[in-house]
Amino acid sequence: MGHWTGERTGCTVLLFPGPTPASGEVRGGAPASREIELLDPIRSNAGIDAVLLTGGSAFGLAAADGVMRWLAERGRGVATPGGVVPIVPTLALYDLDGSGRFPQAAQGYAACEDAAEETVLSGPVGAGRGATVGQWRGVTLPSGLASATLRLGELIVSAIAAVNAFGEPGPLDRSLLDPAGFPVGFGRNTTIGLVATNARLDKVACKLLAQGAHDGLAKAVSPVHTRMDGDAFVAAATGRVEAAPDVVRALAVEAVAEAIGTMR
């Protein structure tokens, strides 16, 4: 994993050692994404090369161009007559501040150059640099990246999320709700993330894993999956350990909930 961190925004790339089975799930009303349709189990794509989490809303999706260039320079991607085409599902959150600054291709490339096995896994870095929570009750609280890893014997399930929710970590305080609506109708929202496991799973099982990631988000954040959010998770399986998909999904739920719970 590597980051590019700017003054108020950033991006985080997660690189895989080779084509990796993956799927995804998008919920909430305002997603910004790229290459998500090919993660559907009915699509022919057999594996992805990286996942990019980025700030900048839809503008920030351009950072994926830099990730693709970095991978292509190393011969990574689907072989075609015209050269390799790297597969980089990309999820963006809204952190625009009116400055016109957001991650672009150069920043996506820089995040790849920064990638290392030992790196910062939480805090206001990378895609979490401009993340906030709490606007459902009329406040804006700083947030960031959150991560957790769970182990069951040789089985490993890790989750990382850029928590930029309209809601916030913790149970819902119903006394703050107004039947007329929330204090703001538009905010700096969307929680995006990745669940990765060393289990041997196909795309269908990865889809179940991505759904489990949203279950973990729903356990940890309230209110969740609002029309102001564009919550999305990708799930990927590197395929070294035999494990039942439902067990892996159960761990994914807890990994996401535990990661976000550390931000309370």
State residue 263's pLDDT score: 87
pLDDT digits (tens, 9 = 90+) for 242-252: 999 999 999 99
**Residue 234 contacts residue 54 (beta carbons within 8 Å):** no
Give Cα separations from 255 to 175, 197, 250, 261 (angstroms): 29, 11, 9, 10
Q: Say whether pLDDT at 134 is over 80.
A: yes
State residue 103's pLDDT score: 98
Q: Say whether pLDDT at 187 is over 80.
A: no
Mean pLDDT of all residues belonging to the chain: 95
- Read off the pLDDT band of 172 (50, 70, 90): very high
Q: At what angle do helices 245-261 and 203-220 cross, to 10 degrees?
A: 30
Average pLDDT over residues 8-15: 97
**Residue 8 contacts residue 97 (beta carbons within 8 Å):** yes
What pTM, to 2 d.p., does this model score?
A: 0.96
- Read off the pLDDT band of 117 (50, 70, 90): confident
**Residue 1 contacts residue 121 (beta carbons within 8 Å):** yes
Q: Say whether pLDDT at 230 is over 80.
A: yes
Contacts of 210 (CB under 8 A, 6+ apart): 23, 24, 25, 195, 233, 234, 235
| Domain CATH number, residue 86 | 3.60.70.12
Q: Say whether pLDDT at 123 is over 80.
A: yes
Residues 17 and 64: their CA atoms lie apart, in Å, by: 18
State residue 43's pLDDT score: 95
Average pLDDT over residues 184-188: 75
Residue with tokens 């998008």: 26
pLDDT digits (tens, 9 = 90+) for 200-217: 999 999 999 999 999 999
| Number of domains into which the chain is organized | 1
Q: What Rg do the C-alpha atoms of the chain give, in angstroms? A: 17
Which two tokens mark 43?
Answer: 């699509």
Residues 248 and 154: their CA atoms lie apart, in Å, by: 12
Cis preceding-peptide flag for 223 (omega within 30 of 0):
yes
State residue 142's pLDDT score: 95
pLDDT digits (tens, 9 = 90+) for 37-79: 999 999 999 999 999 999 999 999 999 999 999 999 999 999 9
Which two tokens mark 57?
Answer: 């809303």
pLDDT digits (tens, 9 = 90+) for 135-160: 999 999 999 999 999 999 999 999 99
Q: Say whether pLDDT at 185 is over 80.
A: no
State residue 118's pLDDT score: 82
**Which domain range does residue 183 map to?**
2-261
State residue 91's pLDDT score: 98
Q: Say whether pLDDT at 2 is over 90.
A: yes
Secondary structure (DSSP) of the chain:
-EEEE-SS-EEEEEEEEEEE-EEEEE-SS---EES-GGGSTTSS---EEEEEEESSHHHHTTHHHHHHHHHHTTT-SB--TT--B----EEE-----SS-----HHHHHHHHHH--SS---SBS-GGGTT-EE-GGGT--EE-EEEEEEEEETTEEEEEEEEE--SSEES---GGG--TT--S-SS-S---EEEEEEEE---HHHHHHHHHHHHHHHHHHEES-S-TT---EEEEEEEEEE---HHHHHHHHHHHHHHHHHTT-
State residue 29's pLDDT score: 87
Contacts of 264 (CB under 8 A, 6+ apart): 169, 170
Amino acid in position 49: D
Average pLDDT over residues 8-14: 97
State residue 186's pLDDT score: 74
pLDDT digits (tens, 9 = 90+) for 93-103: 999 999 999 99
